[in-house]
């Protein structure tokens, strides 16, 4: 009988398995932002961990089928169960940082955030549990959102702040040495989701096929920001994993409406028109050449068997 050949792990020059740490604000963000990239790297033997800042306790129920009293009464527990299901689909490890969801304030003027919620905290102090995760995992790459949070949710903005703080503090042996030996993560990225070029390309592909585009209204109100668009440095081909991403998204049933705009663009249109997920390299301790097509570009690698 011929032995089954295991895929090689992706490793660095020392033969260590490559490690990727995504930092997200809420459960479901790991599936809506960069999940196809995650699935591709898992398939290639990269160790991937998601650090989830909050439990999503104040998140709205966005799927009408789940907008029920029993769900509202147990939202924190249900969102943990959804996260666990998505984690298994993506093939990742996941850790909760233990902060409390701030909610998305509405009104004019905006009301203050709830006392003690994630968005009210000091970023240096709030970075401590993430520093511990970084030092324990020793990732080669970290990702988070840009300084605007990707969109102006207070938890997404704070997620950026503690991620950048943890990236720096984890490398400083004098900073809370009780959290573990210092670790300099080689690369830090910001994720870019539905930026203008991508949204416009998919919109035009839909209309050219005689299909209704879910982005028509959004594009009508979009204020172009060329400086932001030009920040993308890295486009990771991952179209083969869009289906895994969608499966993980659907695991977050309180947040994702299967009849909603997420799923109005046929998978084959997305794969043809925009087959990448896009990122900005913001810190690098290794030389690399831009533009990139791999978050691990610049890290010398060698292949080793998966059962090493």
Which residues contribute to the annotated binding site?
26, 29, 156
Quote the CA–CA distance of 64 and 254 in Å, as a whole number. Answer: 8
Radius of gyration of the chain (CA): 20
Helices 242-251 & 75-90 angle (0-180, nearest 10): 160
For tokens 């249900």, the residue is 78
Question: Which of 139, 140, 30 lies closest to 92, judged by CA?
Answer: 30
Question: Which of 214, 211, 233, 216 lies closest to 291, judged by CA?
Answer: 233
Helices 242-251 & 35-43 angle (0-180, nearest 10): 120
Helices 128-137 & 154-169 angle (0-180, nearest 10): 50
Report the relative pairing of strands 276-284 and 187-192 from DSSP bridges: antiparallel
Question: Which of 89, 138, 104 lies closest to 26, judged by CA?
Answer: 104
| Strand residues in the chain grouped as ranges (E) | 19-24, 47-54, 93-99, 141-144, 187-192, 234-237, 276-284
**Bind-site residues for Zn(2+):** 26, 29, 156
Question: Which of 55, 32, 158 lies closest to 101, judged by CA?
Answer: 55
Quote the CA–CA distance of 90 and 265 in Å, as a whole number. Answer: 22
């Amino acid at each position: 009988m011929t032995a089954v050949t295991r895929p090689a792990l992706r490793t660095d020059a020392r033969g260590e398995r490559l490690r990727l740490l995504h930092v997200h604000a809420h459960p479901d963000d790991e599936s809506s932002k960069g999940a196809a990239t995650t699935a591709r790297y898992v398939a290639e033997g990269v160790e991937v961990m998601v650090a989830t800042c909050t439990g999503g306790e104040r998140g709205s129920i966005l799927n009408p089928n789940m907008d029920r009293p029993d769900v509202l009464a147990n939202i924190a527990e249900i969102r943990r169960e959804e996260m666990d299901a998505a984690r298994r689909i993506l093939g990742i490890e996941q850790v909760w940082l233990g902060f409390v969801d701030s909610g998305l304030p509405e009104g004019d003027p905006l009301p203050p955030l709830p006392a003690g919620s994630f968005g009210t905290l000091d970023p240096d102090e709030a970075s401590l549990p993430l520093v511990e995760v970084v030092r324990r995992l020793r990732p080669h790459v970290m990702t988070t959102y840009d300084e605007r949070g990707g969109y102006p949710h207070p938890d997404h903005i704070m997620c950026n702040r503690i991620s950048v703080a943890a990236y720096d503090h984890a490398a400083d042996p004098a900073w809370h040495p009780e959290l573990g030996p210092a670790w300099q993560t080689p690369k830090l990225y910001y994720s870019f989701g539905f930026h203008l070029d991508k949204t416009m390309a998919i919109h035009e592909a839909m209309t050219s096929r005689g299909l209704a585009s879910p982005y028509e209204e959004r594009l009508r109100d979009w204020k172009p920001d060329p400086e932001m668009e030009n920040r993308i440095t890295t486009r990771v081909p991952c179209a083969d994993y869009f289906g895994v991403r969608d499966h993980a998204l659907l695991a977050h049933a309180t947040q994702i409406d299967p009849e909603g705009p997420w799923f109005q663009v046929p998978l084959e249109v997305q794969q043809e028109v925009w087959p990448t997920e896009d990122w900005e390299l913001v810190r690098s301790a290794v030389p690399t050449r831009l533009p990139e097509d791999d978050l691990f570009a610049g890290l010398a690698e060698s292949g080793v068997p998966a059962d090493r």
